[in-house]
Amino acid sequence: MEHKQSDQKPKMSIAIYLWLLPLAIGTSIGIAIGAAIGSVGAGAGIGIGVGVAVGLFLYRRFINTSSDD
């Protein structure tokens, strides 16, 4: 079975997008919630924290399942 190096590149870019998307969504939701409670900085911090956690979970899950192929 032949392994091509170019096959790995698209999988990595998908995994990176799976990390960036929750980060962006979490930050924007956190800023909106922060604006509603009167502390945009705290909301943005919470949103970034949640976005990073969800993003890393999706990233690791995608890497583990795609390496089994």
Where are the chain's structural domains?
Answer: 13-67
Q: What pTM does this model have?
A: 0.67
Which pLDDT score, from 0 to 100, does residue 22 have?
87
pLDDT band at 9 (very low <50, low <70, confident <90, very high): low
Which pLDDT score, from 0 to 100, does residue 14 have?
79
Per DSSP, the three-state class of 4 is: coil
State both tokens at 63. Answer: 């890497």
Q: Which residues contact 3 (CB under 8 A, 6 or more apart)?
A: none
Encode pLDDT of 15-40 as tens digits.
Answer: 778 778 888 888 899 899 889 988 88
